[in-house]
A and B are shown apart, each in its own frame.
Chain A
Amino acid sequence: MKNTLIQLKHLYQRAGFGASPAMLQQASRHSVRRAVQDLFDDAQTPRPLHVVDPQRVGYSRKVLLEMVLQKGPLSEEQKKQYIRQIDQENRELIGDLNYAWITQMASGTSVLREKMTLFWHGHFACRSLNPTFVQRQNNTIRQHALGKFGDLLQAVAQDPAMLQFLNNQQNRKQSPNENFAREVMELFTLGRGHYSEQDIKEAARTFTGWGFNREGTFEIRKNQHDIGTKTIFGKTGPFDGSDTLSLILERPETAPFLVTKIYRYFVNDRPDPQIIQPLAAGFRKKDYDISWLMHEILTSDWFYRPENIGVNIKSPVELLVGFQRQLGLNFGQKQAVLYVQKALDQVLFYPPNVAGWPGGATWIDSSSLLLRMKLPEIILQAAQLNFKAKADGDVNTDYLAKRSNKPFLQTQFDWEAFAQPFAGLSTEALLDALSTYLLARPLLPSQRDLLLKHRKNNDLQDFTLGILTLPEYQLC
């Protein structure tokens, strides 16, 4: 029983965003294997985000402006006013998308697919100021998140957000732009050192003409596409962009690159080549079937070994969603959730660059650790937030750094409901039970003593806050 509970906690933490004590109690009546199967079953159907009406803003900002101009002659000042209004609306919508996704991750439905979407969101890191593109790319990734990697890659490569972000709109036969070709090899598939500069030059030619039209639909502009012969990885032919993606999937380096990244994210940020090598071989053989790979990982013995439990540092998004999942609370307002992401250096839809968030130990420095340790109090007790997130000087992201003094004043947390599984437990038993459910690994005696010593007048609240304040709570 105890053993199953540890394994279930680990499973839900890594394949999802954690689980409440009540849910863990419920699940531990069955086997871990059954829980894995339930996760896959539950993740069958993608639940796309529906914040932005695709009809309304299925256009670029430029097209929207043209539509505005059709209303009649406008003065320069009126035009500027409209542009500012559209920009403002777009920023708000991207913020809404962010909050909607956080809420969806915390809803507990389709968690494996949501977690996988979050992983690929960091892998195919991309920024767009167009909320339609942001929503569409996120839904594209979600749709293929547990499918074949080849389909995911192809879909992302033909998605307007990425075409725009990596300048493929400017990739023309006469003057190829290598940005997309370079990043697809360096960051999305092969990794540095597994291709030549010549491979990039030639691959860039295969992507010439790939772009999107006014409605944001993918199209290959024939007169801009180079139909000539290209040589990539020593193979020669009149390749187009899809051929290049297939050639990349044929390379032996692609599967180990992807599996290492997935292993570091889902298993242990210190990769184990002994495990990764055969896993990557299988992944390639299974035609890059992501569900197969995840099933292998989540049902393996090594996934549940103690050295893989409670050793990875939670990303800010995992931390935020985890509070909701584990405690069953509702943040109740968007700006506070955006603000914490900004202050802890991970804002959904705003990755630092195309390489994504480096993760692991880079999440933690003096400031972020202190803020993370203070956060439970700020959220659960609506404590004051004495932390000013840095504005990065961009008019498009300034709104993220706005905050109020007590940002989580509207958060709803039902202590009574949370306490139910612990009914009737006396002080020490209560502490042991709480820490068993909230932490990945058992409390050490010294920490147990510390929590007992620092309790004030309400055991449940003091212990819960104390446990959430431990550095160990940052781990999953």
Chain B
Amino acid sequence: MNRNEFIRRSALAAVGTWLIPDFVKAYERDQINTFRTNDKVLVIVQFSGGNDGLNTLIPFRNDIYYRERPKLAIPETKVLKLTDELALHPALEKLRSWYDQGYFRFLNNVGYPNPDRSHFRSMDIWHTASDASEYRQTGWIGRYLDAQCSGTCQPYQALEIDDQLSLSMKGERVKGLAVSDPKRLYQQTKNPFYQELARANHEAYANVDYLYKTLAETLSSSAYIHAKTDVTSTTASYPTHELGRRLKTVADFIRSGVDSNVYYVSHGSFDTHVNQQPKQEQLLRQYAEALDVFMQDLKAQHKLDKVLVLTFSEFGRRVKQNASNGTDHGTANCVFLAGGNLALDRQYQAVPDLSDLDQGDLKYKVDFRDLYATLLDHWLGINSVSVLGKPFPGLKLA
């Protein structure tokens, strides 16, 4: 069943009195292609608050690491060794076998020039893919939507599993949709007053139009998602914590064939200035548990090669631990890729150089915008220059 038929049959039937707003009619009529560029999916997991990369991907052969972190360093006997020099935090044990099978991979020393150590600014930079000295008002996934269908994309084509939408999801012409619970969103949007309002005439002023367009798209996106996912729910048993619930929702969307290439979830808070160990351990364990089930679920559906999970944080933390058994804001960090058959050259897996620091922080070797460019060009199948605004050479594939 193609998308047009789908709208006619399920959305109309399921929503009952729902009348398709004008903009939907317009693109049905014009047969504008808003289908996905390909069948690949990118899931982004954001570690909010600045995850300590050195205690996540541990340089267990490095004396400086143990010297600078007398209380926080993880002893070699406890780490999960991946290579001769790097190992995972023990809480990530469930990801070990995925690593061995090539489904869980890492990049190291990822960052950007002139790093900013403020959460908000650094997160902005990751969301907008800007330079450190530049302020952009749109996010890279939002601009991906802008570029993908010349402004006719629907919000549900990039879904954030949350109530509030991140800057990364906001484009100039199209913004993604934040939905934490499709049923609850649907309950809210099927309100007859909203429905009739969306169809009622309004004045033709720019911002009025924009508000009504947003309303109509929200209602139709919510109806679409609801109709798509109402029937099937995954049988895999996800952990009951928030990240588990969020990845389960993503799996439901993927399983039911929602026309979306991008999903976004957040996990945190990793801002571990004080007594880092138990907090980070808990968050990493939740991540490993949830991602493990998610990948098993996709594998059972034969979709694991089509879904790539990117995990990042706005910065890593200082090499030297602080006086409160925590770590302060740092710079370059590790990034994880899981699932999807996109493999990067091993040169990006280098051990961090703890003897060559910038004010106590790691120097980046890989610009995250090169990673974005590679994901756009080689995974989402869209010209990265149209999204990033300027050419980035991208990363070498394996």
Chain A residues with a Cβ under 8 A of chain B? 76, 80, 83-84, 127, 182, 187, 269-270, 307, 310-313, 343, 345, 350, 352-355, 358, 360-362, 364-370, 373-374, 386-395, 398, 441, 444, 446-447, 450, 453-454, 466, 469-472, 474-475
Can you pick out 21 interface pairs between chain A and chain B where the beta carbons lie within 8 Å of each other?
A311-B205, A311-B207, A364-B211, A366-B177, A366-B221, A367-B163, A367-B164, A367-B178, A389-B164, A390-B163, A392-B120, A393-B48, A393-B270, A444-B203, A447-B200, A447-B202, A466-B193, A471-B197, A471-B212, A471-B215, A472-B202
Cβ of A329 to closest chain B Cβ, rounded Å: 22
B381 touches A (CB below 8 Å): no
CB pair A394–B214 under 8 Å, yes or no, is no
The interface on chain B, measured as residues whose beta carbon lies within 8 A of the other chain's beta carbons, has a size of 61
Q: What chain A residues lie within 8 Å of B239 (beta carbons)?
A: none
- The one of A127, A352, A365, A394 in contact with B178, judged by C-beta atoms closer than 8 angstroms, is A365
- The one of B135, B210, B217 in contact with A361, judged by C-beta atoms closer than 8 angstroms, is B210
The 10 closest A-B pairs by CB, nearest first: A393-B49, A393-B48, A471-B211, A355-B135, A366-B218, A393-B269, A390-B164, A365-B175, A393-B268, A446-B200
B180 touches A (CB below 8 Å): yes
Q: CA of A128 to CA of B49 in the docked complex: distance in angstroms?
A: 18
Residue among B163, B170, B206, B217 with the highest chain A CB neighbour number at 10 A: B163
Q: What chain B residues lie within 8 Å of A386 (beta carbons)?
A: 184, 188
Given contacts A353-B120, A475-B208, contact A394 B269 (CB under 8 A): yes
Majority secondary structure, B binding face: mixed
CB closest chain-A residue, reference B212 = A471
Q: What chain A residues lie within 8 Å of B170 (beta carbons)?
A: 362, 365
CB pair B121–A369 under 8 Å, yes or no, is no
B233 touches A (CB below 8 Å): no
CB pair A390–B166 under 8 Å, yes or no, is yes
Q: CA of A366 to CA of B137 in the docked complex: distance in angstroms?
A: 17
B50 touches A (CB below 8 Å): yes
Q: What chain B residues lie within 8 Å of A80 (beta carbons)?
A: 274, 323-324
CB pair A444–B194 under 8 Å, yes or no, is no
5 further interface pairs, Cβ-Cβ under 8 Å (given A361-B207, A369-B215, A469-B193): A345-B164, A355-B135, A367-B163, A395-B269, A471-B197
Q: What chain B residues lie within 8 Å of A312 (beta carbons)?
A: 207
Chain B residues with a Cβ under 8 A of chain A? 47-50, 118-121, 123-124, 133, 135, 137, 155, 162-167, 169-170, 175-178, 180, 184, 188-189, 192-194, 196-197, 200-203, 205-208, 210-212, 214-215, 217-218, 221, 266, 268-271, 273-274, 314, 323-324
Q: What chain B residues lie within 8 Å of A307 (beta carbons)?
A: 205
Given contacts A80-B324, A365-B178, A393-B49, contact A358 B137 (CB under 8 A): yes
CB pair B208–A390 under 8 Å, yes or no, is no
CB pair A368–B165 under 8 Å, yes or no, is yes
Q: What chain B residues lie within 8 Å of A270 (beta carbons)?
A: 206
- The one of A127, A390, A393 in contact with B162, judged by C-beta atoms closer than 8 angstroms, is A390
Given contacts A355-B135, A471-B212, A471-B215, contact A395 B273 (CB under 8 A): yes
Cβ of B199 to closest chain A Cβ, rounded Å: 9
Given contacts A370-B218, A474-B211, contact A444 B202 (CB under 8 A): yes
Q: CA of A366 to CA of B193 in the docked complex: distance in angstroms?
A: 17
Cβ of B179 to closest chain A Cβ, rounded Å: 8
Q: What chain B residues lie within 8 Å of A387 (beta carbons)?
A: 163-164
CB pair B218–A393 under 8 Å, yes or no, is no
Q: CA of A472 to CA of B197 in the docked complex: distance in angstroms?
A: 11
CB closest chain-B residue, reference A449 = B200
Q: CA of A83 to CA of B324 in the docked complex: distance in angstroms?
A: 10
Q: CA of A345 to CA of B215 in the docked complex: distance in angstroms?
A: 19
CB pair B120–A374 under 8 Å, yes or no, is no
Cβ of B164 to closest chain A Cβ, rounded Å: 4
Residue among B119, B192, B197, B217 with the highest chain A CB neighbour number at 10 A: B197
CB closest chain-B residue, reference A84 = B274
